[in-house]
Structure 1
């Protein structure tokens, strides 16, 4: 009689399949294209929606922390290159947001309708606060009233309104109809 526990079987493959990589690459390309072409033309009190942030959060909720962090890094770098912004800050912010959104999805019981809304809301607050803090540390003026009223509040409204439809589209694209049934529970 052996006292050793049997090895747990691994249920998921260690590496994603090429189909999953292709689908994630399509989401990455969509995020960068929406952020660079559509977002500048949509304005609410001077703020634009952050499609890249929303799509990183949606992928992290659907696929987990590691995938969210990797996609966040790639999205941050490509968006910075496309918009000719300094490299690094956007990638850092998206890595943090993607990782923690994925950890939330892995550890919390996700209510069907509120998870994407609450996660995008929190991610918008965190991302904008990190960017404002970095600007402050670089000795750039960041007036608190302007930041709250003209940057954070409109971004919260835009991003939260776009979270649910984009989450359903991302979930359908990445997981098929089974993903939609799981999202509806």
Structure 2
């Protein structure tokens, strides 16, 4: 079997030939990863969407009928904090925005204030997860405790700016304190259920980068 050779102008001048096997082969371009190479992304979106819808229904239909320690539990806030801890600041903030807007619209409330409070909760929970050990069990409690205070303060300030004034002592003892205690008690079981539903994985922004 004889290999065909190709003569170049330089070969003709020097009397040499270049075999086809000696020619450089161009390197194949690497295709960016497509959706088929990341099948878990679609499943993750489905799980988050189902969790969002279920939480909105829970917050708008069942929560108003539950009163413990003189307050209603805020399941949406606790789950937003859990999503922020498990999926990072960006997804936590987006989940908080969507959840806050849907809950507010369902309850005929201004969506901007509730969404803003939950955006802050989801983002700060994700940032806190980057520097904390989620396996210790205290991270969800600390996060929900702080998130309840932050969200209550944001909502109280918004009510004050809208002209709905209330005594500070009354708001602190009858609103912020019982809601914070109740949400903190629910933090651990809700975090476990949310982690199980999302596949038991913990994704942090620092690890992705």
Pairs within 5 Å for 1:1-185: 17-110=41-134, 112-176=136-200
Separation in 2, partners of 1:16, 1:71: 18
Q: Please report the TM-score for the alignment, with normalisation by the length of structure 1.
A: 0.84
Q: For the aligned residues, what is the CA RMSD? A: 2.1
Number of residue equivalences = 167
8 Å contact from structure 1 (residues 59, 68) kept in 2: yes
- Greater gyration radius: 2
Deviation, 1:27, is 1.2
CA distance in 2, matches of 1:79, 1:25: 14
Q: Is the contact made by 2:144 and 2:187 (CA closer than 8 Å) also made in structure 1?
A: yes
Higher relative contact order (CA closer than 8 Å, sequence separation 6+)? 1
Normalised by the length of structure 2, the TM-score is: 0.75
> Structure 1 residues 47-56 or 108-117, which shifts more?
108-117
For structure 1, which runs of at least 5 residues remain unmatched after alignment? 1-12, 180-185
Q: Does structure 1 retain, via aligned residues, the 8 Å contact 2:71–2:175? A: yes
1:34 and 1:51 in contact (8 A); partners too: yes
Structure 2 unaligned spans of 5+: 1-36, 203-209
Distance 1:123 1:15, change over 3 A: farther
